[in-house]
Amino acid sequence: MKKSDTVVVSDAYLPKKKTFGKKLRANLPLLIMILPGFIALLLFNYKPIYGLLIAFQDYRPRAGVFGSEWADNFGMANFMELFSNYKFGPVLRNTFTISFLRIIFGWPAPIILALLLNEIRCGWFKKLAQTLTYIPHFFSWVIMAGIFKMLFSTVGPFNMIMGMFGLEPIPFFSDNTAFLVLIIATAVWQGLGSGAIVYIAALAGVDESLYEAAYIDGAGKMKQVFHITIPSIMGTITTVFIMSLSSVLNAGFDQLFNMYNYSVYEVADIIDTYSYTLLMRSEWELGTALGFFKSVVGLVFVLTSNWIIKKISKDEYGIL
């Protein structure tokens, strides 16, 4: 009797341990759902990653990535050409300058806006201010650049106001420094409202009783901000910071391409615009090497900053 009992138990257990074929059949509908996205990612994300091999090749368009020969110097010839290119240094410097300035000003600005909005008690005003500051996010740089070219031209309204104070008009589109200031200011301005939303959402979750307790303990507004508000959104702040570091070599192609011109090339030509120039000249290997360099540096930046932040916060924050 006992023996047959065990048999019954193991029989009841068996059907749960599905064979691969059965598992596949049970999963078929879900796998079909995954399929379109899977193929799209394969064709439009993974194939270009495979195409990065061009950076190590003596690429011939007719032969394709598969049939082309490896480049000289163990495939490093293109990189050696890239690093010794007279354009490489300035382009890298411009990219870093612009994106660092964008991060330095563009990262705290939405936090400040969110903190200011958080102090507003009047419901409709808060909503209106939030709605309006969010608007620029919805327009392409084609449109924004078109508008800025008018607003900041030497005869535009901005320079008219400068003139009213007796100041000389600023040639934003031909002076290097002025152009940089304009690029950074407009980029920060555009990302202000959209960047603030994630913080506003985080602030809405802060327990109101903390403020009351702090008030009773005699903490002023400033102390409350630094000891309650900011610590409670610290997770969001660090996440956004790491994400912004991941785009450290994205100095904003759309913006620069639409706003720059020959007279400010010296400060405005960035990796992406240079890469576009190489594309137009069909210098495939050099351009791909540049893109490869950019991807790797970007990855290193995210992983390092993530690691540092994890170390400092003892694994509390970080995205990976």
Angle, CA 34 vertex, CA 28 and CA 39 arms, to 5°: 120
Q: Yes or no: say if 287 and 279 are a contact pair by the CB < 8 Å rule.
A: yes
37 near another protein, rule: CB under 8 A: yes
232 near another protein, rule: CB under 8 A: no
Cβ-in-10-Å burial (0-12, 13-18, 19+) of 29 comes to: exposed
Q: Binder to another protein among 70, 83, 100, 139 (CB under 8 A)?
A: 139
162 near another protein, rule: CB under 8 A: no
129 near another protein, rule: CB under 8 A: yes
Q: Binder to another protein among 145, 170, 187, 256 (CB under 8 A)?
A: 145
234 near another protein, rule: CB under 8 A: no
Contacts with another protein by CB under 8 A: the residue count is 95
**Gyration radius from the chain CA atoms:** 28
What phi and psi, each to the nearest 5 degrees, are found at residue 42?
-60, -50
Show the site string, 165-204: x = touches another protein by CB under 8 A, - = not.
Answer: ------------------------x--xx---xx--xx--
Four-residue CA torsion sign, 118, 130, 191, 160:
negative
Q: Yes or no: say if 109 and 250 are a contact pair by the CB < 8 Å rule.
A: no
105 near another protein, rule: CB under 8 A: no
Shorter beta-carbon distance to another protein: residue 102 or 294: 294
310 near another protein, rule: CB under 8 A: no
Closest CB 311 distance from another protein, rounded Å: 19
Sole window of 7-15, 73-81, 174-182, 270-278 interacting with another protein (rule: CB under 8 A): 270-278
67 near another protein, rule: CB under 8 A: no
Closest CB 62 distance from another protein, rounded Å: 11
Q: Binder to another protein among 244, 294, 305, 309 (CB under 8 A)?
A: 294
Sole window of 3-11, 97-105, 269-277, 308-316 interacting with another protein (rule: CB under 8 A): 269-277
Closest CB 284 distance from another protein, rounded Å: 6
80 near another protein, rule: CB under 8 A: no
- Give 158's DSSP letter: H
Token duo for residue 300: 């290193």
Q: Binder to another protein among 7, 104, 132, 230 (CB under 8 A)?
A: 132
Token duo for residue 49: 């990653």
300 near another protein, rule: CB under 8 A: no
Q: Binder to another protein among 142, 162, 300, 312 (CB under 8 A)?
A: 142
41 near another protein, rule: CB under 8 A: yes
